[in-house]
Amino acid sequence: MYSHTEKGGDNWENMASANATKCPECGGVLKIQEDVVVGEIVSCSDCGSDYEVASIESGSVSLKVAEAVKEDWGE
């Protein structure tokens, strides 16, 4: 089962079941490990986009766009 809901900008959610879903950025296959945990980062092997596991309910995984880590230059 695959469901994709646009919420504007980077706040979309993607519900994935089984072990794969479509990457919303490029449409490629986004593989999800069976032992994935909330907070884990999942990357698209086609375009390199990163997504964070937001929740896991009844075998469905909710993903959100991972926040980019900004460099701290000691300022």
DSSP structure class, residue 20: E
What integer pLDDT is reported at residue 51 of this predicted model? 93
Q: Where are the domains of the chain?
A: 2-65
Task: Read off the tokens for 18.
Answer: 């089984």
H or E stretch including 57?
strand 50-57
What integer pLDDT is reported at residue 6 of this predicted model? 37
- The string of pLDDT tens digits covering residues 7-47 is 344 444 555 555 788 888 999 988 888 889 999 999 999 99
Cα gap 15→66, rounded to integer Å: 15
Q: Which residue type occupies 4? A: H
Which CATH code is given to the segment(s) 2-65?
2.20.28
Closest by CA position to 29, among listed 57, 49, 52: 49
